[in-house]
Amino acid sequence: MNAMIQSISWQQYIFSVLIATAIYYLFIWIVFFKARLSVIPGVTALRNFSMQPDDGPDEVMTTAQHVIDELRPLFHEYRNKNEMIQALQLKLRKYRDWEEPGFRSTINQFITQACESKCSIRIEEEDQRVLWS
């Protein structure tokens, strides 16, 4: 192992560190700053999971759809209203501070319909407020 380390020059080491650093910061930039690189087709899909949309209603609805997809399995697991509300609260906790127009109303509408149709649970407006608290 000592011979292997001695065979690497300082130039090779610095070049490797620079490449690794560049890849790391490129990844951070793409994921967290929502880079728009049309060259890489999969990158634009990462923007759909953003919690801070900057493109308007379409992105709000895309994020709302992501949340709805995350909530769907709950309607097959719970039949008790209190348990359902607690489970929904836990899932919605990370979206609590998001105040974009239409976001909560879309999710509340889905929750109300899914609870009634799949679980026979009626969710009132007061229950909806509790979900987001």
Cβ contact 58:100 at 8 Å: no
> How many distinct helices (H) and strands (E) make up the chain?
8, 0
Is pLDDT at 10 greater than 80 in this prediction? yes
Show me where the domains of the chain are located: 2-46, 51-131
Cα–Cα nearest to 131, from 78, 95, 80:
95
Please write the tens of the pLDDT for every residue from 45-95.
444 444 444 545 667 778 888 888 888 888 888 778 888 888 888 888 888
Instruction: Tell me which of 14-23, 97-106, 111-120 is least confident.
Output: 97-106
pLDDT band at 97 (very low <50, low <70, confident <90, very high): confident
Cα–Cα nearest to 114, from 74, 58, 56, 66:
74
- The pTM for the full model equals 0.53
